[in-house]
A = this chain, B = another copy of it.
Amino acid sequence: MHKEDTLTKNQQIIFDLIDKSPEPMKAYSILHDVQKKGIKAPLQVYRALDKLVEIGKIHKIESRNAFIACHNSSCQVSKATAFSICEICEKVTEISSASLSKYLTNFKDKDGMKYSKYNLEFFGLCKKCR
């Protein structure tokens, strides 16, 4: 499976940065942080991000245009993602719920259509902000 694939230099630098970050990181903030490592252009960042998303090492939080490392060990969920987002402090947490992913993976629309790929973003207030 893909997750074990060796990352290239740029991919590794950018993954390490995102993985260490306690919060989702934006592309240009990543760019700023890796310039000292020789990554100078937005495209270098976006290419690494694209690849990391593709292989499931990171996820994009669509509503925030930001990226976080995947913390689900199981590979199936890399294209079936769910997050909770605090509307005050912007804390983002990946939800790993077997019942949720089972429900959504088995969900059929009006036409009986199933979708193995989805992205779900819940919004509310986190513990601290409540």
Give residues in A with beta carbon < 8 Å to B. 62-63, 79, 84, 93, 95, 97, 100, 103-104, 107, 109-111, 113-124, 126-127
A61: nearest residue on chain B (CB-CB)?
B62
- Shortest beta-carbon contacts, A-B, top 6: A115-B122, A62-B62, A117-B123, A115-B124, A120-B120, A118-B122
Taking CB atoms, residues of chain B closer than 8 Å to A103 are: 103
Taking CB atoms, residues of chain B closer than 8 Å to A121 are: 62, 118-120
B124→A113 contact, CB < 8 A: yes
Q: Given contacts A62-B62, A63-B62, are A117 and B122 in contact (CB under 8 A)?
A: yes
With both chains docked as a complex, state the minimum distance between the C-beta of A124 and any C-beta of chain B, in angstroms: 4
With both chains docked as a complex, state the minimum distance between the C-beta of A77 and any C-beta of chain B, in angstroms: 14
Which one, B84, B111, B113, B114, contacts A115 given CB within 8 A? B84
A99: nearest residue on chain B (CB-CB)?
B107
Other A-B contacts than A118-B120, A118-B123, A119-B121, 6 sampled, CB-CB below 8 A, are: A62-B121, A113-B124, A114-B124, A117-B123, A117-B124, A119-B123
